[in-house]
C-alpha cells in the first residue's frame, strides 16, 4: 500500500505543487481554528500597553496592536471565529440550496417556474447587501453573520443543482429506470441525487472562499463579533486607523485572510477540472 501511495503523492507534488500548497494552507488554517494554542503561546485578549505597536519580529511575528496584544495570536485564534461562521454558512447554503434546486428541477412545471422566479430575484440582489440586510434584522453576532451569509448563497446552490438535475433526468438510464417500473422516489434517490451532486460539491468548495470574504467583510463593518474577541475582519478594521504609521497592524492579518481565500479557490478550481473529466 505504502509503495503505491508514496509515488502517487510525489507525482501529485511534481504535477501540481500549487494545489499541494493550497491544501497545506487550508490544513494550517483549520489547525489554527481547532488547536490554536499549539501555534502560539500568547493570549489573543490580554496585552501589554507598554509594548503597543511593536513591529514584526522573532518575538511577535505579526507585531502588536495598540493595546500590545500579539497580532499573530489574534489572527490564529480569530480563525476559529471566522472559519466556524464560514463552514456554518456553507452548510446552510448547501443544504437548503440543494434541496430547493432538486425540488425545482425534478418537479418541473409550475413548481419549477415559481421557484426559479424567486431564485432569479435573489440572484439580482448583491449577496453582501442581502447578508447585511439579514444580519441587521437578526442582530449583530457571529452566528447571525453565518446565517446571513448562508441565506445569501442559497440561490447559487439552487440554480446549479437545478441545472444538474435537468441534465440527469433526461439521461437514458433514468428513462430505463422508469421503464422497468421504478417509482419516482426511487429514481430520485438512486439516480438523480447521486449523479447531480458533483458540481454542487465543487461549488461548495468555491463558496468557502467567498464565505470567508463575506464573513470578514461583515466583521470589518462591525456586524460580527464584538471586541475584544478576535475575528479576521475585525483585526483588519482595528488597524485601519494606524495603517499609514503601523501598516502591519492591518496588512499582515489581511494577508493571512487573502492567502486562505486564494488557497480555497485553487482547490475549488482543481475539483471543477476533475469533475469535467
What integer pLDDT is reported at residue 10 of this predicted model?
Answer: 47
Asked if the 15-276 domain carries CATH number 3.50.50.60, the reply is no
> Which DSSP string do the residues of 9-62 spell out, in sequence order?
HHHHHHH-HHHHHHHHHHHHHHHHHH-GGGT--S-SS---GGGTTPPS-SSSTT
pLDDT per residue over 117-172, tens digit each? 999 888 888 888 888 888 888 888 888 899 999 999 999 999 999 999 988 888 88
Is the pLDDT score of 271 beyond 80? no
The domain spans of the chain are: 15-276
CA distances from 2 to 5, 10, 19, 21 (A): 5, 12, 22, 22
What are the strands, taking DSSP E only, across 34-177? none
What integer pLDDT is reported at residue 174 of this predicted model?
Answer: 81
Residue 261 and residue 217: Cα distance in Å, rounded?
13
Amino acid at each position: 500500500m505504502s509503495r503505491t501511495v508514496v509515488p502517487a503523492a510525489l507525482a501529485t507534488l511534481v504535477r501540481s505543487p500549487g494545489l499541494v500548497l493550497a491544501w497545506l494552507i487550508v490544513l494550517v488554517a483549520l489547525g489554527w481554528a481547532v488547536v490554536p494554542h499549539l501555534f502560539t503561546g500568547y493570549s489573543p485578549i490580554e496585552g501589554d500597553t507598554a509594548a503597543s505597536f511593536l513591529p514584526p519580529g522573532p518575538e511577535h511575528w505579526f507585531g502588536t496592536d495598540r493595546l500590545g496584544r500579539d497580532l499573530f495570536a489574534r489572527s490564529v485564534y480569530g480563525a476559529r471565529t471566522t472559519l466556524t461562521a464560514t463552514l456554518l454558512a456553507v452548510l446552510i447554503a448547501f443544504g437548503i440550496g440543494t434541496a430547493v434546486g432538486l425540488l425545482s428541477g425534478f418537479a418541473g412545471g409550475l413548481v419549477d417556474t415559481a421557484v426559479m422566479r424567486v431564485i432569479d430575484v435573489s440572484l439580482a440582489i448583491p449577496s453582501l447587501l442581502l447578508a447585511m440586510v439579514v444580519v441587521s434584522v437578526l442582530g449583530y453576532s457571529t452566528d447571525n453573520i453565518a446565517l446571513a451569509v448562508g441565506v445569501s448563497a442559497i440561490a447559487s446552490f439552487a440554480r446549479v443543482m437545478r441545472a444538474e438535475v435537468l441534465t440527469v433526468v433526461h439521461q437514458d438510464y433514468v428513462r430505463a429506470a422508469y421503464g422497468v417500473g421504478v417509482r419516482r422516489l426511487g429514481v430520485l434517490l438512486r439516480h438523480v441525487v447521486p449523479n447531480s451532486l458533483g458540481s454542487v460539491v465543487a461549488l461548495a468548495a468555491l463558496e468557502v472562499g467567498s464565505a470567508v470574504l463575506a464573513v470578514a467583510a461583515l466583521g470589518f463593518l462591525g456586524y460580527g463579533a464584538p471586541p475584544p474577541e478576535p475575528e479576521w475582519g475585525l483585526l483588519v478594521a482595528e488597524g485601519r486607523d494606524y495603517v499609514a504609521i503601523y501598516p502591519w497592524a492591518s496588512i499582515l492579518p489581511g494577508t493571512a485572510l487573502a492567502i486562505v481565500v486564494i488557497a480555497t479557490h485553487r482547490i475549488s478550481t482543481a475539483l471543477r477540472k476533475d469533475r469535467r473529466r
